[in-house]
Structures are given as C-alpha cells and as structure tokens.
Structure 1
Amino acid sequence: MTSNPAIAANTRPWRDPDAKPFISIQHVTKRFGDFTAVNDVSLDIFRGELFCLLGGSGCGKSTLLRMLAGFETPTEGKILIDGVDLAGTPPDRRPTNMMFQSYALFPHMSVEKNVAYGLLREGKSKAEAMSHAAEMLKLVKLEKFARRKPHQLSGGQRQRVALARALAKQPKVLLLDEPLGALDKKLREETQFELIRIQETLGVTFIVVTHDQDEAMTLATRIGVMTEGVIEQVGEPREIYETPKSRFVADFIGSVNLFEGRVGPAAPDLMRVETEDLGPVVAPPVAGLTQGQTIWLAMRPERAWLTRERPAESVNCVPGVVQDMGYVGHMSSYMVKLANGRLVRVTQANEGRRDNPISWDEQVHVSFEPADFRVLTE
C-alpha cells in the first residue's frame, strides 16, 4: 500500500500513547430486543486513516458503521468525532457521509447531477454545485461521463460516481459499507488502489466495512477484526497477519495451520510442545505459560518447507504424503496428509522452471523453524 501523507506526517499516531484520536468509540453497545449486535466496543481512529472493519456476516460491523452515521442509536456508550459527542445528532447534521453497497444512484439523473444533488439540497447555487461536481468527477476520472445516465456505465464506473457523490459534501469522515462488493474480482482489485489514491489525495478519514480479508489487507492503515459484536484485535495489516492474538483472528485472516499442544519443558530460547499431529516440536518461549498448559500453534502455509528428503538441519520435521496440489502461477499449494490423517497446507513459490517439481502422492517432509510458530492461548 502506498503511504498515506496524512498518516506518514504523524508517524502512525496510534503508536503514540499521547496522540489524540479523531474518532472515539467508547463502550458502545447496540441491542435489538434480546439480540446484542455490538457489545461494549471501544475503538480509537485517527485523522487521515483508512480504517477497515473486517468480519463475517452478522458480526456487527455494519451496525457499528450505521451508529457512526447516525442511522442507529447506541443502546449504551458514546461516539465522538473531533471531540464532539454525537448523541442526538441526526445523520444530516453529522460531519460524516455514507456510501452504500447498492450505490443508490438516481437512474433518471445524469452522472453530474447525481454528484451535485446533495450540494443543491444544502442550498448551494447550481453553478457552485455543478462546478464542485465537476471537480469530484475529475478526481475519480469520470469527467468524460458527466452527461451519461447510471445505466450507461459499468459497475466500476457507477461505484466511482457514488464515491464522488459521497465526497462532494466534503465530509470529515467517509463511511463505506462493502463499497467494492458488487464488482468482479479483477475490477475490485484495480478499484482498491484507486480508492487508496483518492483517499490519500483528499486526506479524508475513511472507515470501510468489508468481509473480504484481501481487500482489508490491501486498503487499510489498520484493521479491526470483528466477531459476535466485539472487536477481537486491532492492528496494522502486517501485525494482524503475522501476530494474531487468537485462533479466530489467525484463522480468519488468510490461510493457517493450527495445532493443539501442551507446554513442555522450556529452554532459554525454545519451548518444547507436545502435539498430537506433529509429535514433539519446539516453538518460541512465551512468558507466563505453565508446563502442561493447553496452547495452539499457528503456522502460515508459506512458512513451511516441502522436500523429498528430510533436511539434516531441521529441528521440526514431519513426514507425509501429497494428497492434493494446485498450481496458481506464482506459487503452488499442497495439501500434505500426515500419518494420523491430519492435512497440512503448504505453499511454495514457483521459482523459474523446476525440472522435477513435487507432485501428487509423493512421500515428502514438512519442516519449519521454531520462529515460524505463533503461540496462542485462546
């Protein structure tokens, strides 16, 4: 991801304990009858961030976004933007604007009139509104399509019209609910970088709701991973991927192999772990664990090595058979069946033209370094 000027100037303010958040969500709970959609969520977001709320359907991320927009009222807690408590403030009086997944464009209006609509409703003159709409269309690279109707545009172009309309009112915070969900995979990937460019150009704080892990990893300065109404972990994309705090986060972000084990004797730099799937292995020591305690070892597929012969220097190695494999251009993905029937996923880069690549039904060894394990206790 290209560095965000607003963020770079502050050197990642979330790392500074004295930095003042731009958005402060404080112990917010939202109940619908007996159902708790958002449960005691506290979250700070800083000016100029492109923050992603990531989670599966029904986790509470869209409800949290709607409370920021003013379409839902918190049952408990409060939300502040730029130091102002938004309690009782209707959506049209908030320094926010929301872009919906459906885009909600007016089919009978031209593109430029769709973008100018909110400004005209606010009392701007037609000349001023249309001039600003033209600026927004230039920003999203649609100035040549100003006179077209929405049905004459592609899905990606309609998405950018909706974005231009949402930005035209110059909100302090733009809320985007699954903004790229209606696009096909290739167009979605292209539009992600276009969204980053626009956000960086304007310096507006973006909060994006998505269920797509790759999308969040590409877009975000930071990610909040949600499940069952709570935020499991907040962090930069690399932090979320490399150092998940729970099995849920490890499993939700990308692919992972999880092995249950019990803590064995500890050495100064290593910890022995007894596992059913891998047998005894060594992992990085973790403070506060007791011998015999149940833990889980998380290992990303790209961290493992797959070889026909057992590497002489490997301290963690287990034999298996290639049950399945897939070629994905830059890499190959293998499913290796261990002696107890457990399947382990391994991915390897396809470097050059290998004359004798590993294939189906081969006897192999899966090896990994102690540091390749992430030790989890929950």
Structure 2
Amino acid sequence: MTSNPALAANTKPWRDPAAKPFISIRNVTKRFGDFTAVDDVSLDVYRSELFCLLGGSGCGKSTLLRMLSGFETPTAGQILIDGQDMAGVPADKRPTNMMFQSYALFPHMSVEKNIAYGLLREGKSKAEAYERVGEMLKLVKLEKFASRKPHQLSGGQRQRVALARALAKQPKLLLLDEPLGALDKKLREETQFELVNIQETLGVTFIVVTHDQDEAMTLATRIGVMTEGVITQVGEPREIYETPKSRFVADFIGSVNLIEGKAGPAAPDLMRVETDDLGPVVVPPTAGLTQGQTVWLAIRPERVWLTREPRPDIANSVPGVVQDMGYVGHMSSYVVRLANGRLIRVTQANESRRDTPITWDEQVHVGFEPSDFRVLTQ
C-alpha cells in the first residue's frame, strides 16, 4: 500500500472523495413477489476497476449484475453508467457486455467465428470484424486455435474464447458471472492472473460475481461482500481481510477464530476483555464501547502463536492439546483444544525441515498478541 496520498488517489480513485464514479448504484432494490433479492443497495465503482461482488448462493450478487446488464429491472432505485441513467435502456443498448459461467459458445462455429459473431450482427464489415478478432485472439493467446471448434478446446481455452467474444465489441463495462466456475482448481488459479493481466491491458471496467473468497482476493481492486441482499462491507482485499467490520465478513473471508467476551476497563493503549474461553485478554482500545458490552474478538489462524513452552513475552497465552493437524507443504494447520473444550485454529509456516514439528496430542500453548485481535461489535 502506497504511503503517498496523492499517488493513492490517482491509482485508487475510491480513496479520493472528489473522484467521480463510473458506475453509481443508488438505493437499488429488486423484489420477486414477496422475496427481496437485493435490498436498498448503494455502490460506486470507478473506471478501470476490477470489482468483485462476493457472497454465497442466493445473496443477490447475480441479480445485481443482471440489473446492471439490463436483463432485470430494479423495483426501486437508480443505476447510472458513465453518467447515464439506465432506466428504460434495454440490454442491447447499454455500454455493457456480459460473460456467463456456461460461456454459451456456438458449438458449430470455429473460435474466430464465435468471436466475430457479435461484431457482424451489429453491422461491422467482414474485414473490420476479423481484424478485431485477430486482436482478441492475440490478447487471449489463442491465435493457433482460430479454426478449432469449442469441443476441441480445453475448459480454460473455452473460457478465453468467451472472454475474447465479450471484449470484442469494446464495452465500457464487462460483467462476469462466476467466469472461472467451470475450471479445475489449478487452471482456475492460473486463469485468475491471466484475467487480471487482460483487464489491466485494456483498462475496461470489470465487475465479477464470485462465491470464491480466494478468487475475489486475487482478482479484485475492491470487494463488495454481500449477504441476504445487502452489501455488508466494501474495501480493498487487504482491508476486508485484516479489518472486517462484522463477524459475518470475518468468518466469510478466510478462516478466523471468533471469541465472545465482555468489554472491561480501558487504558490509553490497552483494553481488557473478559472471555470464558481465554480468560482476561488485553487488546487495543476500541472507541465507543461501554464497560460490560458484548464484543467478539477476531483473530486469524496465522496470527496465533503455537509453542511447546509458554512465552512470557506474549501478553495472552493459554495451554491446550493438539487435537488435529494437517500438513500442506509450505504450512501446517492445527486445531488446539483448550481446557474448556474450545477449539482454536492455528496456521504455521513450515520454515525449516530440521525442526521437529508439533504433532497430534502434544501439550502446547497458544498465544495472542494484542494488536492481532480485531474487536467486533456486530
């Protein structure tokens, strides 16, 4: 993260209060009968962003995307794209294109004909259309596959054809609904970086819908976390992960230990929280709390210390027993059972092969630095 505010504002316009959003979603609601799919959502997205809408199935993210594209009409609220109100503007007249999870390629057409189809339909000459097709094939590195049919391609190659077809018409805004959902894990991870490189090369604004937290963290300039039709938090990936504003966001993004307690007395630099699981814990002071108020302490597994002997330099330390563990090469994951039965998740890097690793049923100590806790009130 840059420390220069002026530079940050130039490269990350959402940090600049004076920046004009490219997309403005204002108090948008969508109801299907008695069911509210999107509930009074307001959101600004800036030009050339790769913005991710992240949430579980049924949270409203795809419905919001379909309203941007014109395939659904808001029940209430307003959507503006590049300053133009989209009310009454049909899908084919909007400066948008949409890429679906199924890719929807024409099976009887070659790769180049699939990409050219939309250009020819809108009246481009054959020469002009195929010149653009050549540019798109080069962009997605499929020049050698121009004459192949979709069934002769891998899943990753079909995904790139669909992306090239969506970008060929040069939309101002590309909407992608679970674009990598059909790919296996390794190919998905490789394609994520390809997608980012293509987006940065063209400078087109992307809005991506996904339920995959890792995918959103890898792709996005910013993430909007959705649940039950509302956006609960918007922020850069690091901000969403390190400083969640609620238990839902903390729990939905990655793995987290959530410990309930009561706010105790606060000093200028530390505050005490009384917990049943860890006893009294010291954490950074949080403004606006009253003594005795219920709070939740969120701490990521990689922030928890795990040692065989207690460390006197760690302010918060409790004994436990390793109940479970998993080795995944560069790191190990542990589940530690405390005396009262509470389970604490710990992740440690496997830094040295010469060390004797902690293993099942060992007596251990888990430690928590005060600054690694995030104090949540909701």
- Give TM-score scaled by structure 1 length: 0.97
CA distance in 1, matches of 2:55, 2:138: 33
Q: For residue 152 of structure 1, what is the aligned residue in structure 2?
A: 152
- Counterpart Cα distance in 2 of 1:133 and 1:342: 59
Deviation at 1:293, TM superposition (A): 0.2
Q: Report Cα offsets for 1:213-232 as digits up to 9, x if no partner.
A: 00000000000000000000
The aligned counterpart of 1:357 is 357
Partner of 1:142: 142
What CA distance in whole angstroms lies between the structure 1 residues aligned with 2:260 and 2:95?
Answer: 48
Q: Distance in 2 between matches of 1:42 and 1:111?
A: 39
Q: Which residue of 2 aligns with 1:239?
A: 239
2:75 is aligned to 75
The separation in 2 between residues aligned to 1:146 and 1:108, in whole angstroms, is: 13
Distance (Å, rounded) in 2 between the aligned partners of 1:136 and 1:91: 23
Report the Cα offset of residue 72 of structure 1: 0.1
Structure 1 residue 357 displacement after superposition:
1.1
Is 1:199 matched up with 2:199?
A: yes
Counterpart position of 1:313: 313
How far is 1:131 from its partner? Answer: 1.2
Aligned amino acid, residue 65 of structure 2: L
Query: Following the alignment from structure 1 to structure 2, what is the Cα–Cα distance between the partners of residues 240 and 314?
Result: 26
Q: Residue 257 of structure 1 corresponds to which residue in structure 2? A: 257
- One-letter amino acid of the counterpart of residue 372, structure 2: D
Kept in 1: contact 2:8–2:15 (CA 8 A):
no
One-letter code of the match for 2:222? R
In the TM superposition, 1:5-16 aligns within 5 A as 10-16=10-16
State the Cα distance separating 1:9 from its structure 2 match.
8.2
> How far does residue 260 in structure 1 lie from its aligned partner after superposition?
0.3
Pairwise CA distance, 1:13: 0.6
The 3-state SS of whatever aligns with 1:375 is strand
User: Offset at 1:303?
Assistant: 0.3
Across the aligned residues of Structure 1 and Structure 2, the Cα RMSD in angstroms comes to 1.1
Pairwise CA distance, 1:356? 1.4
Deviation of residue 29 (structure 1)?
Answer: 0.1
Instruction: Give the letter aligned to residue 136 of structure 1.
Output: M
Structure 2: distance between partners of 1:15 and 1:318: 40
- In the alignment, is residue 174 of structure 1 matched against residue 178 of structure 2? no
**Code of the aligned partner of 2:92:** D
Q: Alignment partner of 1:165: what SS? A: helix
**Deviation per residue, 1:91-130 (Å, 9 max, x gap):** 1000000000000000000000000000000011111111
Q: Which residue identity does 2:74 align to in structure 1?
A: P
1:144 Cα shift? 0.5
CA distance 1:36–1:202, shift in 2 (3 Å): same
Partners of 1:249 and 1:9 in 2: how far apart?
A: 26
1:8 shift after superposition: 7.1
3-state SS, counterpart of residue 10 of structure 2: coil
Q: Distance in 2 between matches of 1:127 and 1:59?
A: 44
1:25 aligns with 2:57: no
Stretch deviating more after TM superposition (106-115 or 355-364): 355-364
Query: 1:120 corresponds to which residue?
Result: 120
- SS of 2:329 mapped into structure 1: coil
2:279 is aligned to 279
Matches within 5 A, 1:294-373: 294-373=294-373
- Give the conservation status (yes or no) of the 8 Å contact 2:171–2:204: yes
- The one-letter code of the counterpart of 1:92 is D
Q: Secondary structure at the match of 2:201?
A: helix
Query: Per-residue CA shift, 1:153-190, capped at 9, x if unaligned?
Result: 00000000000000000000000000000000000000
Q: Distance in 1 between matches of 2:9 and 2:312?
A: 48
Which residue of structure 2 lines up, in the alignment, with residue 212 of structure 1?
212
- Residue 4 of structure 1 is matched in structure 2 by none
Letter of the 2:147 counterpart: R
Distance 1:16 1:161 in 2: 36
* SS of residue paired to 2:345: strand
Distance in 1 between the 2:318 and 2:98 partners?
A: 51
Out of 261-270 and 241-250, give the one that drifted further.
261-270
1:299-327 Cα shifts (integer Å, max 9, x gaps): 00000110010001121001100000000
Write the deviation string for residues 259-281 of structure 1: whole angstroms up to 9, x where unpaired.
00000111111000001111111
Amino acid corresponding to residue 159 of structure 2 in structure 1: Q
Tell me the SS of whatever aligns to 1:199: helix
1:88 to 2:88 alignment = yes
Give, in whole Å, the separation in 2 of the partners of 1:214 and 1:40: 27
Contact 2:53 2:208 survives alignment (8 Å): yes
Structure 2: runs of 5+ lacking an equivalent: 2-6
**Separation in 2 of the partners of 1:176 and 1:309?**
50
**1:188 counterpart residue number:** 188
Question: Is there any run of 5+ residues in structure 1 with no aligned partner, and where?
Answer: 2-6
Return the alpha-carbon distance in structure 2 between the equivalents of residues 260 and 356 of structure 1: 34
Return the letter of the residue paired with 2:138. Answer: K
Which letter does structure 2 place at the counterpart of 1:59? C
Amino acid at match of 1:186: K
Residues 2-39 of structure 1, C-alpha deviation per residue, up to 9 Å, x if partnerless?
xxxxx978231101111100000000000000000000
Counterparts of 1:239 and 1:9, CA distance in 2: 16
- Aligned AA for 1:299? I
CA distance in 1, matches of 2:106, 2:8: 38
Structure 2 counterpart SS, 1:10: helix
Q: Secondary structure of the equivalent of 1:323?
A: strand
Q: Aligned pair 1:131/2:131, yes or no?
A: yes
Quote the offset at 1:355 in angstroms.
3.0
